[in-house]
Chain A
Amino acid sequence: MEAIDRNAVQQALNRFLQKDAYFHMETSTGSYRALEEPGQIATCAYIRNGVLHFLEGKITGEGPYQVGLKLKNGWLYSQGLTDWELTKDGKLLLGGYDGEGHLNIALQFSFTPFECGA
C-alpha cells in the first residue's frame, strides 16, 4: 500500500467501470469498542465478494479521500480512504488507515473472487 495518488487511483477505478466486478467493502470500530469506552458499542459491516456494476466512479478530496460510485439504481459512498494498491493480479485495494495502524474502512475491486474463509 502507498499513500493515495488521486490520478492513479482514478485510472485504476476506470478499469472496473461498466463491468461486473467483485467488491469488498467494510468499516469497523473494532470488536472491543464497548470495552474501551463505556457507552460505546462495537459496530462493523462488511461485504465480501458482492458483485457490483458501476456506471460512473470518482475519487475526490485532498486526503483522506472519498470514492463515490453511480450504480444503475443508486449510489455507493466511502469516506476516509488514505492508501491504495494495485496488486499483481489486478485487484484494486483502497484502505483508510488511522495513526494507530487500524484499517477503519476498505473498498476493493477485483475481476476474480477475493479469498474467503469457509
Chain B
Amino acid sequence: MARKILAIYPHPDDETFVGAGTLIQHTQAGDSVTLVCATLGQMGRRMGKPFFATRESLPHLREKELRDACKVIGIADLRLWKMQDKMLQFKDEGYLAQKVLEVFDDVHPEVVYTFYPGHGVHPDHDALSAAVVRAVTLLPETQRPVMRCKAVTINSRQVLGDPAMEVDVSNVIQEKISALKAHKSQTEFILTHLEEQIKAEPGNAARLLAPYAKETYWIYDTSGKTVS
C-alpha cells in the first residue's frame, strides 16, 4: 500500500546526500514523498569546481538543482520555505515547529526523514530537527510519524549505537548518482574524482561506489515525550 513520506531538510542537496536512494526506493514503490527544504542554501561555500556561481546567483542555481534532483528522485511535492541559510537556529522555535505541524496536517506522513537531533553538525540541521521533534511531540502519540534520522557527528555510533536501519540502495545507485549530479554546484568535485577513479580501476567500481550504496538511519523515539 502506498505510504506517505515526508523528508524535511534545511538545504538543497541534504535530501540527496543523506538518502536519495531511500527516497527513490519509496517513489518507485509508489509511496508519495513530500520534501520540505527550509532554506535555499544561500550561504553555501561551494560554488562549483571550477566555480561558476556567485554569492548572488547561488540560491537561484541551487533551487534549479533541487528541482532537477526531485525529478530524478520522483518527488512531485517540493515545498520551499526560502528561509535564510544558517539562521534557522535564531528563528522562534515555536514558529518553526508550527511550520512543521502545518505540513504534518496536510501530508499526514507515516515516516519523517531528517537529521538526528543534536547530531547534525551544521547548526541548521540541528535547529530543524529540533523543530521536527517539537512538532511530532505536539501530536497525540497514536498519530506520531516515525522519525528516521541521519546522524553525521564523528562520535554518532559511540553515542547512539549502531544505526537502526542500513538501507541497501545498490539497486538504484545510478539514479542516486544522477540526483547527486543534479546538485552540480555542490557535487561536481566529488563526482568527477569518483568517475576518474572508476575509469582508472573499473574492476573496483563496486568498492568505490560502496559508500553511496548504503544509507543509514537512527530512529528517534518520541514515545512518552511531551513538549516542555
Does B54 lie within 8 Å of A85, measured CB to CB?
yes
Q: How far is the CB of B85 from chain A (nearest CB, A)?
A: 6
Does A103 lie within 8 Å of B39, measured CB to CB?
no
Determine the distance from Cα of A106 to Cα of B42 in the docked complex, in whole angstroms: 13
- Count A/B pairs, Cβ under 8 Å: 73
Total B residues in contact with A, Cβ cutoff 8 Å: 28
Contact flag A108-B55 (CB < 8 Å), given A28-B45, A101-B189, A117-B42: yes
Contact flag A46-B54 (CB < 8 Å), given A100-B49, A100-B189: no
Total A residues in contact with B, Cβ cutoff 8 Å: 30
Q: How far is the CB of A48 from chain B (nearest CB, A)?
A: 8
Contact flag A95-B54 (CB < 8 Å), given A30-B45, A117-B39, A117-B87: yes
Determine the distance from Cα of A30 to Cα of B46 in the docked complex, in whole angstroms: 9
Q: Which A residues lie at the B interface, using CB under 8 A? A: 1, 24, 26, 28, 30-32, 34-35, 38, 44, 46, 85, 87, 91, 93, 95, 97, 100-104, 106, 108, 114-118
Q: Which B residues lie at the A interface, using CB under 8 A? A: 39-40, 42-43, 45-51, 54-56, 59, 81-87, 121-123, 152, 154, 189
